[in-house]
A and B are shown apart, each in its own frame.
Chain A
Amino acid sequence: NAGVMQNPRHLVRRRGQEARLRCSPVKGHSHVYWYRQLPEEGLKFMVYLQKENIIDESGMPKERFSAEFPKEGPSILRIQQVVRGDSAAYFCASSLQKNTEAFFGQGTRLTVV
């Protein structure tokens, strides 16, 4: 009974490169959320997706960031032309229904050099 799986766990990118973060939700969960956590700061919501649809992307920067949750396969958070300020831990969570408990993955730690 696998939980939320994220990969890679650690990702190093040079400034200007692209970063792709993957998330496989708990089996049967159709609601996926991405959060970002900076050192000494709280978890900040980025985007909420439900199979093939973006429900709420109000927390995601309008430029360089995009997310998808295709019918088949994992959810992807894509960051184009990364900058040093993108360095953070990115967490994915999934839930069975909206407003029920969300289960988190172990995160992807992105370092931009």
Chain B
Amino acid sequence: EDQVTQSPEALRLQEGESSSLNCSYTVSGLRGLFWYRQDPGKGPEFLFTLYSAGEEKEKERLKATLTKKESFLHITAPKPEDSATYLCAVPDYGGSQGNLIFGKGTKLSVKP
């Protein structure tokens, strides 16, 4: 059973058109939710960690929020350079809890 589900799978926006990406998780007792950005041919780049419901983190045009069941990555007035795949992940509670379980990602394309 998937523990991390991201939607939509792909999102195409015009430059300046704000939107949100969703990450829902089924684990209980969350001990961290992580957002990453991955460009083609590159490794994931760390963006944010959220630990508790109600928490928010911001970086440039990105803002991540967390509730008890899901997280959102809000993109305000995106630019073409924001085009990438955005991944969210949670620690694996069934294992050693050291590794992360990743969603399949949302592929964002921002057109000028």
Chain A residues near B (Cβ < 8 Å): 4, 6, 31, 33, 35, 41-45, 48, 55-56, 58-59, 91, 93, 98-107
Nearest-CB residue, chain A, relative to B34: A101
Task: Work out how many contacts link A and B, with CB atoms closer than 8 A.
Answer: 66
Which residues from A are CB-within-8-Å of B95? 45, 56, 58
Q: Is the CB of A106 within 8 A of B97?
A: no
Interface residue? B32 (CB, 8 A): yes
Nearest-CB residue, chain A, relative to B104: A42
* 5 CB-based A-B contacts, threshold 8 Å: A43-B89, A45-B92, A45-B99, A56-B95, A106-B43
Chain B residues near A (Cβ < 8 Å): 31-32, 34, 36, 42-46, 49, 87, 89, 91-92, 95-105
Q: Is the CB of A107 within 8 A of B43?
A: yes
Q: Is the CB of A55 within 8 A of B43?
A: no
Q: Is the CB of B98 within 8 A of A104?
A: no
Q: Distance (Å) between the CB of B9 and the closest chain A CB?
A: 10
